[in-house]
Amino acid sequence: MRRLRPDYPRAGRRGVRRWLPSWRQLVLLTTGFVGALTAAAVVMYARTDIPTDLNAFATQQNNVYYWADGTEMARTGLVNRQDVPLEQVPEKVQWAVLAAENASFYSDPGVSVKGIARAFYRMGSGGDTQGGSTITQQYVKNAYLNQRQDFTRKLDEAFIALKLDRQVDKKDILGGYLNISWFGRGSYGIERAAQAYYGKHVSQLNASEGAFLAAVLKGASLYDPALGDENRARAVERWAWILDRMVEIGKLSAEERAQYNVFPEPQAPQQQAGLSGQTGYLVDLARAYLQSHADVSPAQFDLGGYQIYTTFEKPRQGALTQAVQDAAKNLDPDNRPADQNVHLGAASVGADGRILAVYGGPDYLKQGFNNANTSNVPAGSAFTPLVYAAGLDQGVQRERQGNRKPVGPSTFYDGDNGVDLQTPEGPYWARDGKKAKSANDDGRSWGPISLRAAVEQSVNGPMEQLGMDVGLDNVRRSALGFGLLPDSMGDLVPGFSLGNSTPSAIRLADAYTAFGGQGMRTDPYSVDRVSRNGADIAVERPDAVRAATVTVAAEIDTALRGAVKDGTAKEVGKAVPDAAGKTGVNQARTAGWFVGYRGAVATAVSLFRMDAKTLELQPLTGVAGAAPNTPDHTTPAAIWAAYTKAAG
């Protein structure tokens, strides 16, 4: 049997012609080679799977916090990215990117054969491999693969892109590409790019601005005008070319193109909003509220992508910070030991529970704990309106098994200093075996005094005895109804009525909103709404509750206005005549307060000294160079008045 073998070297030929294949052999070889490549490609395509997980880096985003007016307050996270749905990107902006990068995107198979061949050639010759890839390929590279430039990665990119193009909607691919691409200025994704270059949400961009952002996709180091005149010239040229290209492919009319004859100059690079100053305290409050009132785990939150719209009002925050900083100028810790370890805290809360402003300390990056949210500073006599409210609401019981009797603003109590404190069973015996006695500020005796006047003038004895008559456990329940937290409640001893409890400035301000709000109050909250990648996330909101009757709230309001007009807070009244509020000091002189309201906003300001090592409170005597008999509420009251006047 005759054996078939290739006629090579060619029989009947001499010299070089013997070794040159015939045209038939060339066709056969070419066909075989193409067939082998096709078979290999089919096998590789079949074996290529689309990765189930995006790169960890491609999923990381910022969490962005906003002021109550919707302007950006801060961003947290390592990657400056914020995803947006494709429908929020104007169609003209989408086509600006497509015109610049891949005009055939909606019709191509996801790969560019010419681009791949060109990339392989450049890799083989040691040149640049960038350019020539479709948007699908670029998305695959950024979302699934590493940035290594070699044949294997380029093949993986091509086959995954082919498969992705068949299995995923083009719009989803484009949306993913726009959300993870690098635009320069620290920005990943077109939303952060819109903010970085134009200070606006991506949905507000026009075609001209979109053309510029499409230009920087080519390389921000070459096209960001902020980096030099040469960059600007390149940016203008490419911007104009992209707009012309949009006209060429029928995505921008000649009339629209004529409108864009001036380069849309981007804004100067903005410093990224950080956590310095008061911002960190606000971010901490908002994050804590979100994680306790929404179905968002810490792990989910760490992945980023959340837009947190807070209740904090930027003008109020600025006014409160300025008022505290102005008062702090009177402190001289280097030359006055009494000014060392001094802390100031403040919080403003609206009648609906919104936390409007907070002063947490001199700088979050230097002092992480929040002075406005402390749990170790006694409320002092700023607590007595709550005792007064309990008495007006529940009445008193002065005899064992006796009936409760009502008391009112004109009910008189003994205002002298050193009066024995009584229980329904008789005198109250202190732990040292002695009878407990009233202790007024400066040891002053007032004689018979009405409950309203005792609140206005901050007379301790009547408030202590009122608490005993109401029942300290009843006063405690009433205070809880005003929103103070159980773990901030002090011991149920006579000093309980004088504020041995330690509510935060936030909680105490919130309690006072009930006095000006006809007895209604709402737990404080700091987050108005939350979304992630354009989808709203449910956040629980506290409901308004009744803390006091309308009548009781009105009586307390009258007393607090009297305190500002003719009482211990009359210096505040001179600055803010329409205010209502209460000074607060404690007998150990370790805390000074002013808590009050004007209109629908209540504000609490605290002053205290705290040993940095032991965290124990220290006396306030001589702080800011004050004379020994200066009330400890003086500085908080001055801050409150200055802030309230400035905030309007």
More confident residue, 495 or 111: 495
**Run of H or E including 593:** strand 592-598
Q: Angle at Cα 469 formed by Cα 464 and Cα 473, nearest 5°?
A: 85
Residues 526-540: what's their mean pLDDT?
92
Helix axes 135-143, 151-167, angle to 10 degrees: 110
The amino acid sitting at 607 is: L
Name the most confidently modeled range: 35-49, 134-148, 187-201, 473-487: 473-487
The DSSP secondary-structure symbol of 559 reads H
Instruction: Give the phi and the psi of residue 294 in degrees, each rounded to 5.
Output: -145, 155
Is 154:120 a contact under the CB 8 Å cutoff?
yes
pLDDT of residue 53: 53
Which residue in the block uniquely carries the two structure tokens 């100031």? Answer: 344
d(CA 498, CA 484): 15
pLDDT of residue 530: 96
Provide CB contacts within 8 A for 28, sequence distance 6+. Answer: none
More confident residue, 349 or 442: 349
More confident residue, 9 or 469: 469
The per-residue pLDDT for range 358-405, each reduced to its tens digit, is 999 999 988 988 999 998 999 999 999 999 999 999 999 998 888 999
Residue 3 scores a pLDDT above 90: no
Residue 146 scores a pLDDT above 70: no
Is 301:291 a contact under the CB 8 Å cutoff?
yes
Q: What percent of the chain has pLDDT over 90?
A: 66
Is 508:583 a contact under the CB 8 Å cutoff?
no
**Cis? peptide before 9, omega within 30° of 0:** yes
The per-residue pLDDT for range 301-334, each reduced to its tens digit, is 877 889 999 999 999 999 999 999 999 999 999 9
Q: Which residues of 136-170 are buried (b: 16+ CB within 10 A; e: fewer)?
A: bbbbbbbbbbeeeeeeeebebbbbbbbbbbeeeee
Residues 48-61: what's their mean pLDDT?
55
pLDDT of residue 28: 62
Residue 345 scores a pLDDT above 50: yes
Confidence of residue 580 (pLDDT cuts 50, 70, 90): very high
| Residue 124 DSSP SS3 | helix
The per-residue pLDDT for range 223-281, each reduced to its tens digit, is 999 888 888 999 999 999 999 999 999 999 999 999 999 999 999 887 655 789 999 99
The DSSP secondary-structure symbol of 587 reads T
State the burial class of residue 218 (Cβ atoms within 10 Å of its Cβ: 0-12, 13-18, 19+): middle
Which of 140-149, 391-400, 461-470 bottoms out in mean pLDDT, i.e. has the lowest? Answer: 140-149
**Run of H or E including 125:** helix 113-125
Work out whether the CA dihedral 379, 380, 382, 385 comes out positive or negative. Answer: positive
Instruction: Give the phi and the psi of residue 643 in degrees, each rounded to 5.
Output: -65, -45
CA 368 to mean position of chain CA atoms? 15
**Run of H or E including 506:** helix 505-516
Residues 28-45: what's their mean pLDDT?
54
CA 200 to mean position of chain CA atoms? 19
Is 632:592 a contact under the CB 8 Å cutoff?
yes
d(CA 41, CA 188): 34
Confidence of residue 4 (pLDDT cuts 50, 70, 90): low
pLDDT of residue 485: 96
DSSP string, 210-262: HHHHHHHTT-HHHH-GGG-HHHHHHHHHHHHHHHHHHHHTTSS-HHHHHH--S
Is 144:54 a contact under the CB 8 Å cutoff?
yes
